[in-house]
Amino acid sequence: MNELETAKYQLCLRLGDSALILGHRISEWCGHAPILEEDIALTNVALDFVGLSRNLLTYAAQLQNEGKTEDDLAYLRDVVLYRNALITEQPNGDFAVTMVRQFFYDVFSYFFYSELCNSHDITLKGIAEKAVKEIDYHLRHSTEWLYRLGDGTAESHQKTKDAVEELWMYTGDMFDIDQNYRLLQENNIVPDMNKIKELWNLKVKTVFETATINVPELGYMQSGSLKGSHTEHLGFLLAEMQHIQRSYPNSTW
């Protein structure tokens, strides 16, 4: 891979891994959600994310050009090689934690993928154009839940507030960039991350106002996912997700 291909490959891992890990996390609710309707809603969202990750990891494997597939990338990489944003690997917690995590990442996805539709990389542009309609719905869903949980009962308000405080320090990592990203930006392949961050802050503030939740002070932000430095939760998630392929290599349906 030349320099630009390497940068594209890293971007595909970042976006694809985030989609895969968040999709896996949400899928853990399958059969356990608070009500049947939400169980199906969450499963739909999980499947959308896994579908998106397939597109991105397939493209990553193409760029890598070592004869690997999306499955090799998903099932045979260890924690340190994963590039998903830290927030996506955080445990489900209670329903408020799941929805706040979802809302934070949905707002990011909404603005990022909308801008990615203008990418000069035709494959990424195509992937983004397919994703934006799904993401539009995800954001609508998590936003409506935020309103109802935040501005609901005293208990739901408190749980939402706690979830926001717990997850806030993982939000900064979504916007971290490195020299690979800068190279892509110079080539009009990705949007200006500062702009995405501004839009994100504004949207979160607006929704939180209606949900009667205070936006936390900026404070200390965890970072490191760009270098494969993850929270302790990712290892357990991968152990479960990769177990079959690791125990029975090359097994198929």
Partner 1 sequence: MENKDHSQGVLWEVFIQGNPGIPHKHAGSLHAPDAEMALQAARDVYTRRSEGISIWVVPAANITASSPEDNGSFFEPSNDKPYRHPTFYKVPDGVKYL
Q: Which residues lie near partner 1 (CB under 8 A)? A: 35-38, 40-41, 44, 137, 140-141, 144, 148
Long-range contacts of 183-189 (CB under 8 A, 24+ apart): 183/3, 183/4, 183/7, 184/4, 184/7, 184/8, 184/11, 187/4, 187/120, 188/118, 188/119, 188/120, 189/8, 189/11, 189/119, 189/120, 189/121, 189/124
Between 46 and 234, whose beta carbon lies closer to partner 1? 46
Nearer to partner 1, 14 or 138 (CB): 138
Nearer to partner 1 among residue 152 and residue 228 (C-beta):
152
The least CB distance from residue 134 to partner 1, in Å, is 12
Q: How far is the CB of 95 from partner 1 (least distance, A)?
A: 12
How many angstroms separate the CA atoms of 115 and 132, rounded? Answer: 10
CB of 34 to partner 1, least distance (A): 8
Closest contact distance (angstroms) between CB of 42 and partner 1 is 9
DSSP 169-237: GGSGGGG---HHHHHHHHTTSS--HHHHHHHHHHHHHHHHHHTT-PPPP-------GGGT---THHHHH
Smallest gap from Cβ 144 to partner 1, in A, equals 6
For partner 1, the closer of residues 39 and 71 by Cβ is: 39
Closest to partner 1 by CB, 35 vs 122, is 35
- φ, ψ (nearest 5 deg) of residue 230: -110, 170
